[in-house]
Amino acid sequence: MAAAVPQRAPAGSRHAHRVPRRFPVATVPAVVLGAVALGGLGVLAIWWRGTGSVTGAAGWLTGAGRITGLLAGYAAPVLLLLMARIPVLEREVGADRMARWHAFGGRYLVSLTAVHVLTVVWGYALTGGHGLLKEGVDIVFHYPEMIKASLGTLLMLGTGAVSARAARRRMSYEVWYYLHLATYLAVALAFGHQLATGADLGDGPARFAWCGLYVGTAAVLGWYRLAVPWLHDRRHRLRVAEVRPEGPGVVSVFLTGNRLSELRAEPGQFFRLQFQAPGLRWAANPYSLSAPPHRDFLRFTVKDLGAHSSAVAGLPSGTRVRAEGPYGAFTARLHRKHKVLLLGAGVGVTPLRALFETLPGEVTLVQRARGPEDLLFTAELAAVAARRGGRVHALTGSRAEVGDLGGALRRLVPDLVDHEVYLCGPEQMAEEAVRALRAAGVRPDRIHRESFAF
């Protein structure tokens, strides 16, 4: 029988403690970026070893096509690994930072792919004395694996187009998620082309390492994206216990299940939830814990921001839930200063609500909202503040009414420069807040940001 959820989320321990971390904050991100750069140098070495003298415009264009093709072929599995949900990376680097790396690298991948296609066709056209169009058609239909590679290229470029910021703003997370799955097919289609026509790979160690990178990436994706969630589903058997209204368009979802403490979730983290209900079961949307994890239940707070989140409000008790996680480095592991400011807006307050209860030191929470009716957890936050001795402030009104955000924050938190800041909210608000905090003198390494952008 599922455990009953409380009438009000518990206020946690009076003795919050710092979660020990295995490595200094910057260690794992630096190691990951260093490994990616080292691999890139290895790809350049493969090109250099296989390149003799380069002469004439055709030679230079063909050489450019080869090197950009190799770099694009290397970047594709690396970008997939960043999104493979590897636990140590999710915990020590953070899903938000890896998503930014993924987006940044994705732009380079699309650019490298486009340059590869253009320079190879142009170089071959000059060598054979043909026009660009004729040479392009000949390559697609007469070279091995090129039809599949062409389809993969079109899928890659299309995915890049829908991932552009202007396009993302016009579509829901669910649509973006489904379209983004085309990346896996694009990479798979291009792999055969790389082996068939990639003369630089040869038949020795380079080819073996290249195959190992792709096969290893597929294995990691299969394990962490498919097998682990399935095993967790079998072990924890999560179900909806209650859906509780919190405000206009906002509900809290309480999940119960088996052995929840074995998930080792931390305040500030999130899960990707697949509710096994019509219209919801095929998308895993990210939702943050809005209360410290309890041995008997997990609480998530969801705002109506799309078809998936709006349908969550109508879920009946007993609905099965498949959960991937916990993910995210937006936790007490980042904590270094005695004074902490938690700054959030909208549904971005949810992870801050959990951190407010558990972070050690002097903690102040500032919630930014258009009006008092948009504030979340007002009574809960007041109770937690009274229990732990923290402070809660509401910063309401339009941007014109609030004025300079930095000035408003300094009025609420006079010693702002001495604080470590956890920041979470809509992208525009978060960017404005970072600028205001930097202008107020807060060091960039003391600003920890969690973004809800996708």
Residuewise pLDDT in 10s, the chain (454 residues)? 345 565 555 544 444 444 555 566 778 889 999 999 999 999 998 888 877 777 788 888 888 888 999 999 999 999 999 989 898 888 888 888 888 898 889 889 999 999 998 998 898 888 888 888 888 888 888 887 788 888 888 888 887 777 666 666 666 666 777 777 788 888 888 888 888 777 677 778 888 899 999 999 999 999 999 999 899 999 999 999 999 988 788 899 999 999 999 999 999 999 999 999 887 877 788 899 999 999 999 999 988 766 667 788 889 999 999 999 899 889 998 888 889 999 998 888 999 999 999 999 999 999 998 888 888 999 999 999 999 999 999 989 888 888 888 888 999 999 999 999 999 988 888 889 999 999 989 998 899 988 765 5
Structure-block tokens of residue 348:
């971005």
Residue 2: its pLDDT value, please? 44
Residue 168: its pLDDT value, please? 65
Q: Which of 328, 224, 214 is nearest to 271 (CA)?
A: 328
DSSP 8-state class, residue 228: H
Distances from the Cα of 127 to the Cαs of 132, 265, 441, in angstroms? 11, 60, 59
Could you tell me which CATH class the domain 27-230 is placed in? mainly alpha
DSSP 8-state class, residue 444: G
Residue 152: its pLDDT value, please? 84
Cα separation, 154 vs 180, whole angstroms: 13
Find out whether the peptide bond into 326 is cis, omega within 30 degrees of 0. yes
Place of tokens 């007993």: 318
Residue type, 67: I
- For helices 205-221 and 56-82, what crossing angle results, to 10°? 30
Cα separation, 189 vs 153, whole angstroms: 9
Q: Which of 240, 260, 243 is nearest to 318 (CA)?
A: 240
Out of 3.90.1570.10, 3.30.70.100, 3.40.50.80, 3.40.50.300, select the CATH number for domain 335-451: 3.40.50.80
Count the alpha carbons within 13 Å of 4 in the hemisphere toward its beta carbon: 3
Cα separation, 29 vs 259, whole angstroms: 31
Cα separation, 258 vs 127, whole angstroms: 66
146: enclosing H helix or E strand: helix 146-163
DSSP string, 38-92: HHHHHHHHHHHHT-----HHHHHHHHHHHHHHHHHHHHHHHHHHHTS--HHHHHH
DSSP tally for the chain: helices H, then strands E: 17, 11
Cα separation, 152 vs 133, whole angstroms: 19
In CATH terms, is domain 237-327 a member of 2.40.30.10? yes
Cα separation, 328 vs 268, whole angstroms: 7
Structure-block tokens of residue 54:
């380069």
Question: For the chain, what are the domain ranges?
Answer: 27-230, 237-327, 335-451
Give the three-state DSSP class for 416.
helix
Please answer whether residues 241 and 247 qualify as being in contact, where contact means their C-beta atoms are separated by less than 8 angstroms. Answer: no
Q: Whole-model pTM?
A: 0.79
Beta strand 298-303 pairing with 250-256: antiparallel
Cα separation, 357 vs 387, whole angstroms: 9
Strands (E), 158-265: 239-247, 250-256
Give the three-state DSSP class for 285.
strand
In this structure, what are the phi and psi dihedrals at residue 269, rounded to the nearest 5 degrees? -90, 170
Please answer whether residues 69 and 198 qualify as being in contact, where contact means their C-beta atoms are separated by less than 8 angstroms. Answer: yes
DSSP string, 345-410: EGGGHHHHHHHHHH--SEEEEEEEESSGGG--SHHHHHHHHHHHT-EEEEEES-HHHH--HHHHHH
